[in-house]
């Protein structure tokens, strides 16, 4: 049985070998046949490849030449002659005429709506009126862009480049193309919500384009982006969107304030955004009044938003702690000159709670200490008032030079009776809070407060007449 199986296996193996040999022989024969019958591949000189070969594989058309040679059949890009100064002036004039026409239409349309509305009421608009107003203001935004772009082309003369500033185009853009329409939409909420959202996004995108192209007015565009962020924040329908747009507006305002640190209006914007943070509000409202270009309207804002609840002894809804409330209340007393009879009690409340407050919040106090220190310095300067004795002595024309100043080794806590009660109160607050911080030896969380305070003291040292009001009461022995 086993021998029969062996014979069958050998027979099958021989059959397989025969089949393999036959297949190999047929393959070799087929290759030889194809080699004999295939025509030789055409050879072409470089630059003489026929055009139709690229598609059909066979030469059917005229010769074309490589793009590397001069006699190429490829079409070159058309040469556009540069615009001349005369053409540019004509285009600028044409754009300006269209711009003023669109601007007049926007103004007249809004004025007509106000006239048609009943007294003390806002006009009611149909969808067609909304769309018409939207289209008008969108066109005005685009015309402003075209005007700015043409005025800064290379062929433009100095006169043409100065046209946007001469005609106050950035201010007109904000007033007539953006602000007036946004105010109309804001006053007509909630019916105008969709249109207001769409226009804010449109204006924001256009303002970013202005920021990149019309760089001569960069400060205006940055502040405008902050204003648009505030408008968007005001109509946010949830806390997350509100916080996102508040951060957007704050970022633009801070950038603008860093570029224009002497402009009080920008700090006022930041104070509004920092609600309900009482210390940051106190800082920014104070800076808006104390800088060389103060924002005088902030005096009413600081009373309405921050000081009135404290002066009237109404607990603030968003108060950080007892000591923060006492600090704000002390500044309210200095600012208004009211409740001076209770000021000593308020300072005692600060002395009894500030040290524990610093120990409790640890590193978070770095920002709070910075706000408190700057606010104390602003209080000493009278929040920008013209009759503050320290501010008058620090003016450049009243400077006494860089002569040495006598610093008595005193630790007094009472101010001179010859000075006004509000200045005495500000000085007492400054000295008491400084001493509390100096007593916390080794606490790095007080460094922000001490840094600001000592920089202020160093500046006073350059003005002996001004330093004479402060130095006799400064706690030098605690240093």
Token representation of residue 359? 């120990």
Q: Picking from 16-20, 219-223, 446-450, which range would have the lowest pLDDT averaged per residue?
A: 16-20
In this prediction, residue 405 has a pLDDT band, given cuts at 50, 70 and 90, of very low
Task: Mark whether 333 and 306 lie in a shared domain.
Answer: yes
**Residue 360 lies inside a defined structural domain of this protein:** yes
Average pLDDT, integer, range 141-170? 93
pLDDT digits (tens, 9 = 90+) for 304-348: 888 887 666 554 444 558 899 999 999 999 999 888 888 999 999
**Residue 462 lies inside a defined structural domain of this protein:** yes
Domain containing 215 equals: 85-112+127-260
Question: Cα-atom radius of gyration of the chain, to the nearest Å?
Answer: 40
Burial class (CB in 10 A: 0-12, 13-18, 19+), 258: exposed
Task: Mark whether 293 and 400 lie in a shared domain.
Answer: yes
**Residue 307 lies inside a defined structural domain of this protein:** yes
Distance CA 64, CA 92 (A): 47
Using omega within 30 degrees of 0 as the cis cutoff, is the peptide bond preceding 276 cis? yes
Half-sphere exposure for 451 (CA within 13 Å, toward CB): 11
Distance CA 336, CA 343 (A): 12
Task: Mark whether 252 and 281 lie in a shared domain.
Answer: no
pLDDT at 55: 46
pLDDT at 308: 82
Task: Mark whether 461 and 364 lie in a shared domain.
Answer: yes
What are the C-alpha distances in Å from 367 to residues 32, 257, 322, 364, 447? 90, 18, 18, 6, 10
**Residue 7 lies inside a defined structural domain of this protein:** no
In this prediction, residue 75 has a pLDDT band, given cuts at 50, 70 and 90, of low
Is 449 or 126 the better-scoring residue by pLDDT?
A: 449
**Residue 427 lies inside a defined structural domain of this protein:** yes
- In this predicted structure, the answer to whether residue 93 has a pLDDT above a threshold of 90 is yes
**Residue 47 lies inside a defined structural domain of this protein:** no
Distance CA 470, CA 377 (A): 11
Task: Mark whether 222 and 311 lie in a shared domain.
Answer: no
Distance CA 207, CA 174 (A): 10
pLDDT at 318: 45
Q: Residue 200 in contact with residue 210, Cβ under 8 Å?
A: no
pLDDT digits (tens, 9 = 90+) for 353-394: 999 999 999 999 999 999 999 999 999 999 999 889 999 998
**Residue 453 lies inside a defined structural domain of this protein:** yes
Q: Distance of alpha carbon 178 from its chain centroid, rounded?
A: 18
**Residue 430 lies inside a defined structural domain of this protein:** yes
Task: Mark whether 107 and 228 lie in a shared domain.
Answer: yes
Q: 3-state DSSP call for residue 276?
A: coil
pLDDT at 156: 86
Task: Mark whether 365 and 290 lie in a shared domain.
Answer: yes
pLDDT at 114: 82
Is 421 or 403 the better-scoring residue by pLDDT?
A: 421
pLDDT at 235: 94
Is 122 or 356 the better-scoring residue by pLDDT?
A: 356
Average pLDDT, integer, range 110-114? 87
pLDDT at 257: 95
| Domain count across the chain | 2
Task: Mark whether 98 and 226 lie in a shared domain.
Answer: yes
């Amino acid at each position: 049985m086993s021998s029969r199986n062996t014979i069958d296996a050998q027979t099958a193996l021989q059959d397989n070998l025969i089949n393999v040999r036959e297949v190999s022989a047929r393959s070799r024969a087929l290759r030889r046949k194809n080699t004999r019958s295939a025509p030789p591949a055409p050879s072409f000189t470089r630059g003489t490849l026929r055009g139709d070969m690229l598609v059909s594989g066979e030469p059917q058309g005229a010769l074309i030449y490589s793009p590397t040679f001069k006699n190429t059949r490829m079409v070159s890009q058309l040469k556009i002659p540069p615009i001349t100064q005369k053409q540019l002036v004509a285009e600028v004039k044409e754009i300006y005429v269209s711009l003023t026409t669109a601007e007049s239409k926007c103004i007249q349309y809004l004025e007509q709506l106000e006239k048609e509305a009943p007294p003390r009421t806002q006009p009611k608009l149909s969808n067609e009126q909304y769309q018409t107003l939207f289209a008008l203001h969108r066109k005005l935004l685009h015309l402003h862009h075209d005007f700015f772009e043409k005025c800064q082309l290379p062929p433009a003369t100095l006169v043409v480049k100065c046209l946007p500033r001469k005609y106050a185009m950035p201010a007109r853009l904000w007033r007539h193309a953006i602000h007036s329409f946004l105010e109309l939409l804001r006053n007509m909420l909630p019916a105008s919500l969709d249109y207001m959202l769409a226009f804010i996004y449109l204006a924001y995108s256009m303002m970013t384009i202005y920021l990149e192209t019309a760089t001569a007015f960069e400060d205006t565009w940055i502040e405008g982006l902050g204003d648009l962020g505030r408008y968007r924040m005001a109509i946010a329908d949830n806390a997350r969107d509100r916080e996102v747009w508040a951060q957007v507006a704050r970022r633009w305002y801070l950038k603008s304030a860093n570029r224009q640190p002497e402009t009080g209006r920008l700090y006022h914007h930041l104070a509004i955004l920092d609600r309900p943070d009482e210390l940051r509000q106190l800082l920014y409202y104070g800076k808006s009044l104390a800088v060389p270009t103060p924002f005088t309207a902030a005096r009413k804002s600081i009373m309405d938003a921050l000081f009135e609840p404290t002066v009237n002894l109404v607990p603030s809804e968003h108060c950080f702690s007892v000591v923060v409330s006492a600090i704000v209340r002390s500044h309210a007393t200095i600012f208004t000159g009211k409740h001076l009879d209770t000021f000593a009690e308020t300072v005692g409340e600060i002395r009894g709670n500030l040290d524990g407050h610093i120990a409790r919040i640890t590193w978070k106090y770095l920002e709070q200490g910075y706000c408190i220190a700057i606010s104390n310095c602003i209080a000493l300067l009278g929040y920008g008032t013209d009759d503050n004795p320290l501010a008058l002595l620090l003016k450049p024309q009243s400077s006494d030079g860089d002569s040495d100043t006598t610093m008595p080794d005193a630790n007094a806590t009472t101010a001179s009776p010859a000075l006004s009660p509000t200045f005495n109160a500000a000085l007492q607050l400054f000295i008491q809070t400084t001493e509390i911080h100096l007593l916390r030896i080794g606490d790095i969380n007080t460094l922000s407060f001490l840094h600001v305070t000592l920089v202020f003291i160093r500046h006073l040292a350059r003005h002996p007449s001004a330093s004479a009001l402060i130095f006799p009461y400064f706690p030098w022995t605690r240093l």
